[in-house]
Structure 1
Amino acid sequence: MSGMNKNDISPSVGFQTAEEAMAWITGLTSFGIRPGLERIAQLMESFNHPERRLKFIHVAGTNGKGSVCAYLTSVLRQSGYDVGTFTSPYLTSYSNRLQYNGQDIEDEDLVRLANLLKPVVEDMAQSEWGSPTMFEVTTALALLYYGTVVYPDFVVWETGLGGRLDVTNVVTPIVSVITNVGHDHMDVLGPTIADITREKAGIIKSGVPVVSAVSQPEAIEIVRNTAKARQATLYLLGDQFSYETLALAENEQKFSFQGPFRALQSLTVTMNGAHQVTNAATALMALEVLRQYYALIVDDEDLAVALRNTAWPGRLEMVSHNPRILIDGAHNPEGMEALSDALREIYKFDQLNVMMAMMPNKNHEHSLRHILPMVDTLVITEPDFHKKMNADELAAIANRLRSELGRPRNVIVEPDWRRALELLQEASSSSQAEHPLNVITGTLYLIADVRSWVLHGTKSEKGW
């Protein structure tokens, strides 16, 4: 590590364990989200700019960021490259966010880097900058890890919130990706699609090619104009590249891809939902840009294998087959629409029971309108997280819509998510239905806990 010995930090002053380091970092949550790049730039300056040694693929967008990152990581790794993947929020533990070749950061690296960061962070807290936030310290930790410890060939780099003022925007990537724009984080990013697009388009850098699947006319115009102003070549879905879905089944979707450099006749993804074909095509266009301009070597066979093998936990994931429990982190209207479409097109059931929890500041009525007409029993609960939406408030919206839509047949309110899960399963087992399907959706904070509980019998670690 740039001349540093692992034993340079005296154990008496630093963190001894990964748990201690994570407790310190997650404790910084109290400083909230503070958009702006001054503090992260200052941190990078303190460590001699590790980010300048790395090749980033920067991914922004309302939905699909995680899936696009998963496709990119899978293809690059299958092609023999070393890959760092930085994503948020995580589903099981804090260290999931900082991966190298699919493995979480090692505890000893986490401890060592946290010990390097802590005195710098504490000095900043005393200055006019104020304390860096939890997300800023996590981002700095990732840049130190990738830029001074493991040196990957590529870093797949997901934005946290927005883009323009997001901490991750401290890097200059080799390609930028904007998946789509939808209604999310409007309290921070602004009330309209145009406002949100302007924030996401803030990741577009001078001369750096950009790939996007934005679809609303006002979003397309903003992305186009921003790319033009920054002399960045834009590859837009529907213009420079396109795809066609050839076949759709549970756990298998075939599609063809048409790009400016070549066409690919038949590729398969096993992640469910039509939106996953869009995500795969978007990732594929970014890889095509890298093949064209950065001599990236991706064999067609490796590409096919990697796309087929890509999985992303918590997105239309069947975590139990008897009873059938499907989890999906649809936490905004566009996500809920994609979930509803997938339920209609892919899954067979004669009864649909849904458990859901949400965070405040989301467009809940629009989300619920997409799914409630299909639901038999709706169980409303709360995530185990300090910022959460009260179950009664969400139930009030559901009951108001119920009188208009005539569904769901039953609404159950149970703030304790473990008890809510039992009630969901009881609703399923006590019915006469032959093929009931239980869906757990909403905030990823609920999805994370339920997933860990069903698969491993434990809760997830919390935080961003």
Structure 2
Amino acid sequence: MFKRYDEAISWIHGRLKFGVKPGLQRMEELLKQLGSPEKNLRIIHVAGTNGKGSTISYMQHMLCEAGYKIGTFTSPYIETFNERISMNGLPISDDAMLQLVNEVKPYVEKMGRTELGDPTEFEIITIMMFLYFGKYDQPDYLLLETGLGGRLDSTNVVSPLLSVITNVGFDHMNILGNTLAEISAEKAGIIKANVPLITGVEDFEALKVIEKVAAQNNAPIWRLGQEVKTFNSSRDLHGESFTLQTPYSTFKKIHIQMKGEHQVKNAAIATAAINYLVTAGLVSMEKEAILKGLKKTMWKGRFEQIKRNPDVIIDGAHNNQGIESLVQTIKGYYPNRKVHLLFSALKDKEYNSMIDRLSSIATSIHFTTFDFPRAETAQNLMNACEHKDKGFFESWEQALLEMMNRYSSEEDVIIITGSLYFISVVREYLLQYN
């Protein structure tokens, strides 16, 4: 039994050595031993390469605006470990986390002595989340984000009210596959018999796979660009505005403060999901609550302005699709500014193509590293770059201070991007620095 929160969290992180083990057997067995808490929950299950966190945040704000109690399970965290398990946007307490660890630890260690083997870090956190929401503090709805893929993801042990697949792009290819069709098949693994699906997948081959799996499961499907349409899009300094049409409703003058065309898509998918639940009689909500919730939504580390004079923006774009969205957003909001980039990434990411794309819009580009087992070196990242104005810093703190001193005019904007783990430590530092 752990007596302190930090001991409990260290024990969870100690499970990292067991890596990623796709498969559901350990999850199913542990949940059964704990009394199947997941069966007490009404769940919206969300998969996708990018946009899962933002889409969940939009849904959470809309549902909370209508007076519902909403649990969320997201990863990774930006400020505190506990935010992975949150109620109405607030992370669970340290005491609750300590209690959950002490409750699951004997079951986890017992399983490690069986042929099923040791549960991974993510499996343990997922078990703790199901236990918390299913046994101790039950929400009206649980917004459940997959960790990796979908078909064999630890979260894929549920029977949801609704499934959402935001999009499909190239990420985690060593596990999910080398083509969009292969990756799409893994994401489509969350589709369940007769459970409706909302998707923002636009790639033809990827969508074909999803449509086939949906048809096999008799799952009704709403697709962005077909059943769900956006038009009259515009932007100003405060965010994006658009009109949304679903088979049941039209929402005029939606305004969101999160910036970028990709956020319009995320908001559209989230709104369509809520609209489906309302029309199915599963949720009761007025249009006003939907519009208010959308307008209030923020998601840390997504094109978030963290400082002014000079303008400093952080964005957790950590794969090619995310980088492309970031590039388009920078072009849209800062077309005439000098763009100075600071980038860090993990070794197992396809960072060469990300660096090439970022270089195309950068006035200068700099690289750094951070304290994480899989972080790539600053030198290796810089070596992958062909930009004429490039540099690297072994210390990201030094990189920030030098860049903010060097690029401090009104025409400069500093964009810090790459791994979400990197963004997390930088964000905390900059908020203290302010």
Structures share fold, TM-score greater than 0.5? yes
Aligned to 1:287: 274
Return the letter of the residue paired with 1:446.
F
**Offset of residue 353 of structure 1:** 0.8
1:365 paired with 2:352, answer yes
Q: Secondary structure at the match of 2:156?
A: helix
Aligned to 2:85: 98
CA contact (8 A) 1:176 1:209 kept: yes
CA contact (8 A) 1:358 1:383 kept: no
CA contact (8 A) 2:28 2:157 kept: yes
Aligned to 1:339: 326
Residues 228-377 of structure 1: pairs in structure 2 closer than 5 A? 228-347=215-334, 349-377=336-364
Q: Which residue of 411, 422, 426 maps to 2:405?
A: 426
Aligned to 1:10: none
Aligned to 2:420: 444
TM-score (ref. length: structure 1): 0.91
1:214 paired with 2:190, answer no
CA contact (8 A) 1:357 1:441 kept: yes
1:435 paired with 2:430, answer no
CA contact (8 A) 2:62 2:289 kept: yes
Q: List 4+ stretches of structure 1 deviating above 6 A.
A: none
CA contact (8 A) 2:312 2:413 kept: yes
**Offset of residue 434 of structure 1:** 3.6
For 1:76 and 1:186, how far apart are their aligned partners in 2? 34
For 2:288 and 2:337, how far apart are their aligned partners in 1? 39
Aligned to 1:145: 132
1:454 paired with 2:430, answer yes
Could you tell me the percent identity over the aligned residues? 37
TM-score (ref. length: structure 2): 0.98
CA contact (8 A) 2:310 2:410 kept: no
For 1:342 and 1:117, how far apart are their aligned partners in 2? 43
CA contact (8 A) 2:71 2:143 kept: yes
CA contact (8 A) 1:58 1:176 kept: yes
For 1:64 and 1:201, how far apart are their aligned partners in 2? 16
Q: Secondary structure at the match of 1:374?
A: coil
Aligned to 2:389: 410
Return the letter of the residue paired with 1:222.
V
How many residues are treated as equivalent by the alignment?
A: 434
- Consecutive unaligned residues in structure 1, runs of 5 or more: 1-13, 403-408, 459-464
CA contact (8 A) 2:227 2:246 kept: yes
Q: Secondary structure at the match of 2:79?
A: coil
Q: Secondary structure at the match of 1:162?
A: coil
Q: Which residue of 28, 31, 35 maps to 1:44?
A: 31
Aligned to 1:9: none
Alignment root-mean-square deviation, CA? 1.3
Which string of whole-angstrom CA distances, capped at 9 and with x for unpartnered residues, describes residues 363-407 of structure 1? 2232223221221221100132111112222111113xx3xxxxx
Aligned to 1:7: none
**Offset of residue 251 of structure 1:** 2.5
For 2:153 and 2:43, how far apart are their aligned partners in 1? 15
Q: Secondary structure at the match of 2:181?
A: helix
Q: Secondary structure at the match of 2:244?
A: strand
- 163-172 vs 367-376, which moves further: 367-376
Return the letter of the residue paired with 1:216.
D
